[in-house]
Amino acid sequence: MKITYSNKAYTIIILALFHIVSCSNDDETQNPINDIYLKIPDIHFETKLIEQGIDSDGIINQQILKSDAEGVSKLNLNLSADFGEIIDLTGIEGFVNITLLSAARQKIKSVDLSFNTKLDTLLLYGNHLTNINIGNNLNLILLDIQSNELSSINGLSKLLHLKKINVSYNNFEGISIKNKSIEDLLISDNLLKSIDTNDALNLKNVLLTHNQLTTVDFSSNKLLETLLISGNKLQYINIENNNSLTHLYSSNNLLTSLDVSNNQKLIDLRVDRNSNLTCIKISSNQEISTVSISEYQELNTICN
């Protein structure tokens, strides 16, 4: 038996199908609210925005106007006594014009900063970050992510304007600094067993205290002025090429010899508590204004 439809019935069916498909497409691709608002699921994050007059409706409703976010150039979300700790920074992607972001001493475990391309200062110390990607933040000058749970950083080599980085009090076991712009490198109180700074040609100040380093090589870092490396397991260090060095702290290590005779600019030397280091070699005309050594140690022009 052949089934046929009247023209009218056929038209009704086609229109109904078109309506269903059209509604489905609208739901999937068109959401006018998302063009106006930005989701802020963390109430403590939104509370801070309201406190600072950024969230213009002044109501905790897990959203703010995108225009509100886009009008911000500096965003300070540091923990204060009046508000709880931020866990989720979802919504930060809408703050596309911020040059400074500070969210210190919170409980943030992860953050996506790929849309915050104007950032030059990023302060996320005292959180629970386990990873971070800064490969899109090409304008960064200062990065402070100390006191987290990091063991690596993604994108560091791309930051051609970065001057200072602080990753102290994390879980780094090894790090390679493939960045020529960095001048200040702070990596104290980690688990470091190795560090490579050969490509950090503008490095001036290094803090590496309280790690597990047994050997280091700063021969490529000829601009180095300050090297603080106490509290490691160093058995040997060569600073012959570091003619700009002014401060050397290498107390509480395992050094057996040390020659600072080429470091004529040295004004502060601290090498006490190296039980097998009895003689520190200096040049005949060298004067070091501040010296800290143990009673069994001496400065001498000749060391056997």
Distances (CA, A) of 232 to 188, 215, 220, 253, 271: 10, 9, 21, 5, 12
| pLDDT tens sequence across 76-128 | 999 776 668 999 999 999 999 999 999 999 999 999 999 999 999 999 999 99
Of the ranges 12-26, 82-96, 130-144, which is most confident? Answer: 130-144
Q: Which residue has the higher pLDDT, 82 or 297?
A: 297
Q: Which residue has the higher pLDDT, 28 or 222?
A: 222
Query: How much is the average pLDDT of 45-53?
Result: 95
Helix (H) or strand (E) holding 75: strand 74-76
Q: Please tell me the class of the 185-304 domain.
A: alpha beta
Query: How much is the average pLDDT of 292-299?
Result: 97
Query: How much is the average pLDDT of 145-173?
Result: 97
pTM here is 0.87
| pLDDT tens sequence across 186-199 | 999 999 999 999 99
The yes-or-no verdict on residue 284 having pLDDT over 50 is yes
Q: What angle do CA 154, 160, 164 make, to 5 degrees?
A: 75
Q: What is the pLDDT of residue 81?
A: 63
For 104-109, which contacts have Cβ atoms below 8 Å and span 24 or more sequence positions?
A: 104/78, 104/79, 105/78, 105/79, 106/77, 106/79
- Amino acid identity of 148? N
The yes-or-no verdict on residue 67 having pLDDT over 80 is yes
Q: What is the pLDDT of residue 35?
A: 83
Q: What is the pLDDT of residue 25?
A: 45
Q: What is the pLDDT of residue 80?
A: 74
Tell me the percentage of the chain whose pLDDT exceeds 90.
86
Q: What is the pLDDT of residue 190?
A: 98
Q: What is the pLDDT of residue 49?
A: 96
**Chain-wide mean pLDDT for the chain?**
90
The yes-or-no verdict on residue 139 having pLDDT over 70 is yes
